[in-house]
Amino acid sequence: MKWKSLNLVLTCKVLVILAFLIPATPAKAANLKLSIHLVWGSNEEKLPNSNYKKLNEEMANKLKKIFKWKYYFEISKQTVDVPTRSTKKFNVSKKCDIEITEMEGPRVEVKLYGEGKLINRTVKSLTKDELFTIAGDDKNETAWFVIIKLLEEK
Amino acid sequence: MDVQNKYASLDDEALVRSAQKGNKNAFEELVARHRDKVYGRLMIMIKNENDALDLSQEVWIKAWKRLKQFHGDAAFCTWITRIAINVGVDHIRKQKRKKYESIEDHIEESGSIERLMPIEIVNPAQGLEREELRARIDKALEQLSPEHRSVVILHEFEGLEYKEIAKMLKCSMGTIMSRLFYARKKLAHLLAGLKKERLQ
Amino acid sequence: MITLEQKLKIQAYLDGELSQSEAKKVEFLMASDQEAKQVFEELKCAADLLQNNEPEIKMPISRELFWNRIYNEIQKDEDESVSVFDYIRHLKYLLLNTKYLVPVAATIIALISIFLIKDFAKPIEDYLVSIETTSEEVGSYSFRVQSENMFVVWIYNKDKSDEKNIESDLIYDDDLFLQ
């Protein structure tokens, strides 16, 4: 039988490599490091406010492929930490807050508040490079986007 | 009692329970009972006999694999029809991607011509036999684009709300409303035209 | 002449998709405008006609032939999964043979540890999403765009979506998966 010819030396080599690999993996209790972007989408190229700046090209290109707006502006950007199994609230704009709870497993609970009122609650897992976007229409055919990105895989 | 007769006497719920345990005879009876409905839905959507047959097969194989996920929240017939519609919608999308999008397609999509058509009120009860009327409706449906047909099927035959249709077809409620409006207008005109032909 | 937006409102009224106050407005429009009333009649006739006369289409091949096609496919799938069981049987042989017991068991334990530590199960959990819109005035849609690795929760104002003919905000594509 083919399996009978299993090479024991090879198996031992694999085990040795694994023994090195396992301790190399990061500890699981690190804080959750995220970036939160508040973005405004418009069909007008002109900056609506001097405090706004053009959104980085990579993120803007992703949004352009999905949504109808031609131009995307960064209103605010923050890098935040959420300690393990705890909740933190972040002010994104005058009217908007985001509350993030680090949950069991790779999951987070994200609550969106508009003028202090809870609007939406989403529970999902975050993966590095994935953009989790909460968005909606704004006045004059524009739109807002809150984009949450996991910066470091736990 | 032979195998077919034994299962023919059971209701869908009992057949599903048995099929969920791996009983292929019970599943065969479910296929036999609902295969026309599945095929009919796909045929109205796709209007191609061979494709509708292949896709029907795909629907039933998917159903067998996902049978454990069916918890009886809706009737089995509704569940299997939803799978059929999803398979049909995917097929239409793939076909559309292959097809060169012509100006005519664009006009049909926006339905601008039909929106300007005069108002036609068709009286279904007037003079036509039911079977004849069904055949004519089928013929009129054939003249709609697959996207418009899908909205008609989901709204008029499946009784879904705008929101549910938008979710299923992955487009906005506005698009659904205008497609449905355009489709109804066009059908009213086609059927009125057929009636006039008949009277001449 | 009534506008397209009004016509779509009339249709939404016919389909029972309007709020009470919106429905009242449409009823008032139909009572005061002959064309609006006619549009309603036309759409109602077309809708009734379709709902009561769904074409009945029969499959052109026999029950047996169709079942054979399905049965063969199911069987083929099951045969493929049987080969996985064959591997498991081989593994059982290795485990029961004392000569191989220690290295094989150690390999299995090491592999399981790697799976647990490296979060191999994460992609499955990625798809388990719970979304709740807590305000009565707003609704939400959500979808994943695989190609851009983006998950979107789109919040809309229920009142506004009733009033305007919303054309899609999305350049929608085949790889959008609505939740």
Q: What pLDDT score does C148 carry? A: 83
B110, B81: one domain: no
Comparing alpha-carbon positions, the chain C residue that sits nearest to A22 is: C114
The winner for highest mean pLDDT among B27-41, B179-193, C98-112, C138-152 is: B27-41
Task: Name the maximum alpha-carbon separation found in chain A.
Answer: 75
Comparing alpha-carbon positions, the chain C residue that sits nearest to A116 is: C135
* Closest listed residue to residue C138, CA positions, set A117, A21, B102, B116: A117
Number of domains in chain B: 2
Q: What pLDDT score does C77 carry? A: 78
d(CA A79, CA C10): 49
B95, B171: one domain: no
pLDDT at B3 over 80: no
d(CA C101, CA C108): 11
pLDDT at B102 over 90: no
pLDDT at B9 over 90: no
A65 vs C148: CB contact, 8 Å cut-off? yes
C35 touches chain B (CB under 8 A): yes
Chains that touch B (3 or more CB pairs under 8 A): C
d(CA B39, CA B84): 8
**Per-window interface: C 143-162 vs A, CB < 8 A:** 145, 147-157, 160
Last residue of a domain, one of B69, B99, B129: B99
**Residues of chain A neighbouring C94 (CB-CB closer than 8 A):** 3, 6
Chains that touch C (3 or more CB pairs under 8 A): A, B
Q: Tell me the pLDDT of chain B averaged across its residues.
A: 82
Which of A3-17, A68-82, B33-47, C127-141 is least confident? A3-17
Last residue of a domain, one of B77, B99, B121: B99
Edge-to-edge strands, sheet with A71-82: A53-54, A71-82, A32-42, A142-150, A131-138, C150-157, C138-145, C176-178
Residue A139 belongs to some domain of the structure: yes
Q: What pLDDT score does B120 carry? A: 61
CATH number, domain of B143, equals 1.10.10.10
B91, B116: one domain: no
Q: Tell me the pLDDT of chain C averaged across its residues.
A: 75
**Residues of chain C neighbouring A134 (CB-CB closer than 8 A):** 152-153, 155
Which is it for the CA torsion C153, C154, C155, C161, positive or negative? negative
Last residue of a domain, one of B99, B119, B144: B99
C125 vs A125: CB contact, 8 Å cut-off? yes
pLDDT at B147 over 50: yes
Full-prediction pTM beyond 0.95? Answer: no
**Residues of chain B neighbouring C59 (CB-CB closer than 8 A):** 35-36, 39, 53, 56
Q: What pLDDT digit, counting tens, does each position of A23-65 carry?
A: 444 444 578 899 999 999 998 888 777 778 889 999 999 998 8
pLDDT at A5 over 70: no
Q: What pLDDT score does B8 carry? A: 87
**Per-window interface: B 10-49 vs C, CB < 8 A:** 24, 28, 31-32, 35-36, 39-40, 43-44, 49
Comparing alpha-carbon positions, the chain A residue that sits nearest to C149 is: A130
B8, B94: one domain: yes
Q: What pLDDT score does A13 carry? A: 55
B185 vs C46: CB contact, 8 Å cut-off? yes
Domain membership of residue B110 as a residue range: 104-200
Q: Quickly state the pLDDT bin for B1 (edges 50, 70, 90).
A: very low
C178 touches chain A (CB under 8 A): no
Q: What pLDDT score does C130 carry? A: 76
**Per-window interface: C 68-97 vs A, CB < 8 A:** 90-91, 93-94
Q: What pLDDT score does A8 carry? A: 52
**Residues of chain A neighbouring C83 (CB-CB closer than 8 A):** none
Q: What pLDDT score does B56 carry? A: 96
Q: Quickly state the pLDDT bin for B99 (edges 50, 70, 90).
A: low
Find tokens 């923050």 and name the residue: A78
B128 touches chain C (CB under 8 A): no
* Closest listed residue to residue C3, CA positions, set C178, C165, C177, C174: C165
pLDDT at B16 over 90: yes
Residue A15 belongs to some domain of the structure: no
Q: What is the mean pLDDT of the segment spanning A91-109?
A: 85
Q: Quickly state the pLDDT bin for A128 (edges 50, 70, 90).
A: confident
B121 CA: distance to closest CA in chain C (Å): 5
Q: Tell me the pLDDT of chain A averaged across its residues.
A: 80
C155 vs A134: CB contact, 8 Å cut-off? yes
Q: Which residues lie below 8 Å from residue A46, measured CB to CB, with a gap of 6+? A: none
Q: What pLDDT score does C165 carry? A: 37
Residue A89 belongs to some domain of the structure: yes
Q: Quickly state the pLDDT bin for B146 (edges 50, 70, 90).
A: confident
B170 CA: distance to closest CA in chain C (Å): 7
Q: What pLDDT score does B60 carry? A: 96
pLDDT at B62 over 90: yes
Q: What pLDDT score does B156 carry? A: 92
CATH number, domain of B78, equals 1.10.1740.10
Domain membership of residue A116 as a residue range: 28-150
Higher per-residue pLDDT: A84 or B35: B35
CB C15 within 8 Å of CB C176: no
Residue A115 belongs to some domain of the structure: yes
B38, B116: one domain: no
Report the complex ipTM. Answer: 0.79
Q: What pLDDT score does B27 carry? A: 95
Residue A119 belongs to some domain of the structure: yes
**Residues of chain A neighbouring C168 (CB-CB closer than 8 A):** 68
Residue A77 belongs to some domain of the structure: yes
User: Which residue from B36, B137, B162 is facing C50, i.e. has the nearest CB?
Assistant: B137
**Residues of chain C neighbouring B133 (CB-CB closer than 8 A):** 49, 53
Q: Quickly state the pLDDT bin for C176 (edges 50, 70, 90).
A: very low
B7 touches chain C (CB under 8 A): no
How much of chain B, in percent, has pLDDT values that exceed 90?
46
Q: Which CA distances in Å does C124 have to A26, A124, A129, B2, C37?
A: 21, 11, 17, 44, 53
User: Which residue from A3, A8, A130 is facing C103, i.e. has the nearest CB?
Assistant: A8
Q: Where are the domains of chain C?
A: 4-52, 63-120, 121-179
Q: What is the mean pLDDT of the segment spanning B111-129?
A: 55
B45, B15: one domain: yes
Higher per-residue pLDDT: A141 or A22: A141
d(CA B176, CA B122): 23
d(CA B31, CA B38): 9
B73, B109: one domain: no
Q: What pLDDT digit, counting tens, does each position of C3-47 carry?
A: 888 999 999 999 999 999 999 999 999 999 999 999 999 899 889
B37 CA: distance to closest CA in chain C (Å): 8
d(CA B183, CA B177): 10
Q: What pLDDT digit, counting tens, does each position of B68-92 carry?
A: 889 888 899 999 999 999 999 999 8
d(CA C58, CA C56): 7
Higher per-residue pLDDT: B125 or A142: A142
